[in-house]
Amino acid sequence: MGNSIGEGKEQVFENLKSLNLTQERPITVFEAGPGNGNYKDRFSPAFHESRWLGVEVWMDYIKEFDLVNRYDILVNMDIRNFIWHSNFDVAFFGDILEHMEKEEAVNLIAEAKKFCRHIYISIPIILFHQGPVKGNPYEEHIKPDWSHKEVMETWPEIVWSHPGNTVGVYRIDGIN
């Protein structure tokens, strides 16, 4: 699979533009679970200059989508084990949090807030069961039943949201 539903991406793009990040300096972008790299493909043209770090757990995606050559830095590991060493202007957690337990998702975002100015979450907000895809056990939806209400209650610090029909997109601001 390696891709995500397109719903909400245009709203994220508009919200990103409203932040005026490109007027400050070249920006740094973190992407958790890039899969086929569609977040980088879609959003990198919006920035004058940017440096992208991706963390992808599934080696087959790294090879199939040539992620090593598409990201400035690519790390092959489970995002839940990632140790943050630097700050980022923007972070994308696109269609990844449903692949872990709720507590793991909460801990992951709490840690990201210490290192990322603007965190975008994209997550199915309907009951969406999914098992492993093409041998990839990380594609399984461990928590397939997020709702917009639950996302808002889980992260009350959300500063912007757009609940779609199947996917909700959210922004949380972290470090200053």
Residue 4's pLDDT is what? 58
- Per DSSP bridges, beta strands 27-32 and 158-163 are unpaired
Residue 22's pLDDT is what? 60
Contact yes or no for 93/119 (Cβ under 8 A): yes
Residue with tokens 């949090």: 97
Residue 48's pLDDT is what? 67
**CA distance linking residue 158 with residue 28, whole number of Å:** 21
Contact yes or no for 89/43 (Cβ under 8 A): no
Report the predicted TM-score, pTM, of the whole model to 2 decimal places.
0.93
**CA distance linking residue 127 with residue 117, whole number of Å:** 30
Residue 51's pLDDT is what? 93
Q: What are the 10-residue block averages of pLDDT along the chain, 176 residues in total?
A: 68 87 76 92 81 96 96 96 94 95 98 97 92 86 95 98 96 89
Residue 64's pLDDT is what? 94
Contact yes or no for 169/5 (Cβ under 8 A): no
What is the distance of C-alpha 69 from the center of its chain?
Answer: 20
Contact yes or no for 19/46 (Cβ under 8 A): no
